[in-house]
């Protein structure tokens, strides 16, 4: 059995490429890297890689992580600028025995030394979004932050190896140097090939308070199906945050176990995810949480068309 599951509709082209590799005996490390790179390279996704929205100083600082579920090796970069594929740098770092999580200039030096492709990740479209948001914040006093749609994936290959990966530009208009959950083991991702893996998207500051990805893997290890593990962890932690802090940030988690069974839970409206397995062609679902149960519906063609139309619609400076 092989399979790959990812946060958001934006991952479907990537998991389609990955599923071709997995179908032909490809390994979970290569497949997940190819899938995440596809998202990083697409300029119209505003929250990952090229075209990602900048921090408050109009710089695109990116976070990414890779984990090998066989060896438990982890590699991650945070607040890295001007490199095309943070996921590939994170994967390369997972091969080091120490210095596995590098930030900012240190991550850039490592990437340069190892010949990774340099690229100015700030697009003209992202600049327009930035200028428009600055105006909105001044005129309407709305919060600068909005959107934190990390791509997070879990992959299983036919040899039983599992991997997890994340990539994000983090919160729009974040402070320079701000790091979210995505490169943090246990929060943004976790995978153990003997059990399964999980990955998160949402408000990093809150996801980190609950180490939610690790919690889901722990629940699967205790015997829960991935769906039950996701719902248990997300519902319980959402409730804890509301009780202790009066509110809970957005939180959506995907998981897959080492049998290729998967699960998803969210505390927001309109969370989409993409999945492909040996028995299931790549597909996009929308999910909603109804009294603690997350109901998944296949996204309609109309929804998919509208998604791409809004992502690529011409953008004007206000
Ligand atoms: N979940 C991504 C972030 O908060 O940066």
| pLDDT at site 252 | 97
195-196-198 Cα angle (round to 5): 140
Q: How far is the CA of 201 from the centre of ligand 1 (A)?
A: 6
Q: What ligand 1 atom has the least distance to the C-alpha of 203?
A: 4
**pLDDT < 50: residue spans in the chain:** none
| pLDDT at site 147 | 62
Whether the CB-CB separation of 29 and 21 falls below 8 Å is answered with no
Taking only the tens place, the pLDDT of each residue in 18-45 is: 999 999 999 999 999 999 999 999 988 8
Please identify every residue annotated as catalytic. 150
What residues flank ligand 1, with Cβ below 6 Å?
A: 148, 150, 168, 170-171, 180-182, 201-204
Q: How far is the CA of 207 from the centre of ligand 1 (A)?
A: 8
| pLDDT at site 144 | 58
Out of 49, 52, 182, mutate this one to test ligand 1's pocket (max ligand atoms within 8 Å of CB): namely: 182
Q: How far is the CA of 235 from the centre of ligand 1 (A)?
A: 19
pTM attached to this predicted model: 0.96
DSSP secondary structure string, 250-310? -EEEEEEETTS-EEEEESSSSEEEEEEETTEEEEEEEEEEETTEEEEEEPPHHHHHHHHHH
| pLDDT at site 141 | 59
Q: Kindly state the helix (H) or strand (E) to which residue 237 belongs, with its residue range.
A: helix 226-245
Q: What ligand 1 atom has the least distance to the C-alpha of 188?
A: 1
Whether the CB-CB separation of 62 and 85 falls below 8 Å is answered with no
Out of 203, 251, 271, mutate this one to test ligand 1's pocket (max ligand atoms within 8 Å of CB): namely: 203
DSSP secondary structure string, 140-171? H---S------EEEEEE-TTS-EEEEEEE--S
Q: How far is the CA of 273 from the centre of ligand 1 (A)?
A: 17
Q: How far is the CA of 298 from the centre of ligand 1 (A)?
A: 26
Out of 179, 204, 206, mutate this one to test ligand 1's pocket (max ligand atoms within 8 Å of CB): namely: 204
Residue nearest to atom 4 of ligand 1 (CA): 204
| pLDDT at site 296 | 97
Q: What ligand 1 atom has the least distance to the C-alpha of 205?
A: 4
């Amino acid at each position: 059995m092989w399979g790959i599951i990812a946060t958001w509709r934006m991952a479907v082209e990537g998991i389609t490429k990955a599923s071709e590799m997995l179908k032909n005996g490809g390994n979970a490390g290569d497949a997940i890297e190819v899938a995440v790179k596809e998202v990083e390279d697409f300029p119209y996704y505003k929250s990952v890689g090229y075209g990602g929205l900048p921090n408050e100083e109009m710089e695109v600082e990116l976070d990414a992580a890779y984990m090998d579920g066989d060896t438990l090796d982890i590699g991650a970069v945070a607040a890295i600028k001007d490199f095309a594929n943070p996921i590939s740098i994170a994967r390369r770092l997972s091969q080091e025995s120490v210095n596995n999580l590098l930030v900012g200039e240190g991550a850039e030096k490592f990437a340069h030394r190892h010949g990774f492709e340099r690229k100015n990740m700030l697009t003209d479209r992202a600049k327009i979004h930035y200028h428009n948001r600055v105006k909105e914040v001044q005129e309407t006093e709305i919060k600068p932050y909005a959107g934190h749609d990390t791509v997070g994936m879990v992959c299983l290959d036919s040899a039983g190896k599992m991997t997890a990966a994340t990539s994000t530009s983090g919160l729009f208009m974040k402070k320079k140097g701000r790091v979210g959950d995505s490169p943090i083991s246990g929060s943004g991702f976790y995978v153990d090939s003997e059990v399964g893996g999980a990955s998160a998207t949402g408000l990093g500051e809150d996801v980190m308070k609950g180490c939610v990805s690790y919690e889901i893997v722990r629940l699967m290890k205790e015997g829960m199906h991935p769906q039950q593990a996701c719902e248990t962890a997300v519902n319980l932690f959402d409730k804890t945050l509301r009780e202790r802090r009066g509110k809970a940030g957005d939180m959506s988690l995907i998981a897959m176990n080492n049998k290729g069974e998967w699960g998803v839970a969210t505390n927001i409206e309109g969370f989409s995810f993409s999945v492909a397995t040996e028995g299931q062609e790549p597909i996009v679902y929308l999910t909603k949480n109804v009294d603690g149960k997350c109901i998944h519906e296949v996204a309609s063609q109309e929804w998919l068309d509208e998604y791409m139309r809004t992502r690529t619609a011409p953008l004007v400076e206000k």
